[in-house]
Chains A and B, each alone.
Chain A
C-alpha cells in the first residue's frame, strides 16, 4: 500500500543538558531533519509536536506554536500529550492527515526537558502519568508501577531479576555504536544485579535514565516524494493506537499490555503484514519488564516467553528479531516527549542501511516502533517498510 515517506530525521544527543530549553533542543533536531530531507521549510503545512511535562519542567504550556517558531516554520501547530507516548500520538495523527490528502509535507517530533527537575522532581513529574487519586496518593511511583507488573509477571510466568538484567545488558550493548545515546558503555549482568533497588524487584539498571532531548521527522506524501525526487526509501505503512483503563489495578491482567496488543493488531492490519514479517523493532523499554510485556503484546514472543528472549539471544543484535538496536529507552535515553518520534527515526535508519547497527539487519525490509504512555493506558504502534 502507499505509505507516508520519512524524508528526514533529526535527533539531539539524549542525556544530561539541564540548562537547555526544549525550544532549543527541538530546533536542533529539526535542523538535522530538514537538512537530511532536502525539503524546504516553506513546504511544511502543519506541525505535530509531542511533549509531556512542559508545564512542570519549564512552566510552559501552549507549546505547539512555540515549537513551530523554534523550527523556523510558519504553519499551524498542535501539541500532543499522552505521557511517554506523546510523540507516538503526534506521528500517528500526522500520518493519517498526510494519508487522507490533507497535507503533503508535515513536521513531526517532540522534546522533553527533565533533568533540571532533579531526580525527586522528575519522579514526581513522571508520576502524573498515573491516576493521581488512586495511585499517586498511595505512594505509587512510575518505577513502582512497573515493579508491580514485574512482580505479577514473575508470579504467573516465572523468570526473575537475572532475566531482566539480560534485557538491560543487550540494550547497553546495542547503544555502544549510537553516538547520540546517553549511555555508550557496556554493563554486565552482575553489575545490573548489584545496583541499588529502586522499587523491588526493579533496580537502577532496570530503569531508563532521566534525559533531555528532542527528535524531529519530516514526513511527506508519496506523490510529493516522487515529484521532488526525494531520497526517502522508507515509509510508514501502518499505524495503530490502543487504550486501557488508567489505573493498573483496574486492568483485567496485571502482567499484560492489551493497549499495545490493540495498537499492534491495528498497525499490522493497516500495513498488511503480520508479526512474522517484522525484521526488527524499537519497543518502549522504559523499564526492562516493559520490553518483555511489549514483545509479548506485539506477538514477537509468546505469552510467558518474552522474559527469556534477551537471555536466549532471540532479541539480541544477531538474534531472530533484534529488539532496540538503538539501545532502547534504557541506554539511548528517554526524553519522554521525544521518544516516539525518535523510535521512528531509528527504525528508518536501520531499514535504510544508514544506522551504525544496520549491519545486523542487512536484509531487513519491515520494522516496527512501539511507544507507550504511563503503565500502557495508551500506546501507538507504527510499521515501517522499505519501498523500493
Chain B
C-alpha cells in the first residue's frame, strides 16, 4: 500500500535500543508461546515432532526464556532516557487518558472519532505496557521455581504453575489486541513501521501523540506541520 495520504515527512519516534528490545521481546514471546502450546493443551500435541519432541520443546522454551528476560536491560542500557520516560509516563494518569478510551473504542470499530491529545505513549499503550510488565513479572518469576524446583519449597513450585498460567493467559489476550492494532487496524498501522525502523510519518505522529509532537517541535527536533501548511496555503 502506498503512502499517499502522508506528505512523506518522517520523524524519529523510537531509539535503536527500543527497536532491538521490542524485537527481542516480540520474537522470544512468540517462540515461548509456540514451544509451550503443546504443554498447555493437547490440541497442539502435533507441534512436538516439529519442535524436536518434548525434550526439544522444553530446551527451546528455556533458551527463549533467557532471551525474554533481556529486553528490559537492552533498552535500559542502550536508551536510559527513553526507558525512564516510559516509566514516568506509566505512572502519570490524567483526565485525557480516560477520555482516550471512549474515542479509541470508536476508532477500533471503524467509527468516526476525534484525537485526544496524548504524550509519547497514549493511554492504550500505557495499559498495554502495564499489563505486559505485570504478566512478565508473573511469567518470569514463576518460571524459576518451575525450572529449578529443587531450590524452592514445594508450595512455591505448585503456585508457580498457577502464576505461569495466569500470566500467560493475560499476556496472550493483550498481545492479540496489540498485534491486531499494529498490523491490521488501519489507523494505528504506522506504529508498526515505527517499532521496526524507528521512524513514523510526521502527520500520523502529530495526530496520535500531539503533546509529544508539539514538545519536539518546540525543541526544534520536528518540523512544524501547521506552519508548513499555512506556508503552502499562502504560496
Decide whether A and B are members of one complex.
Answer: no
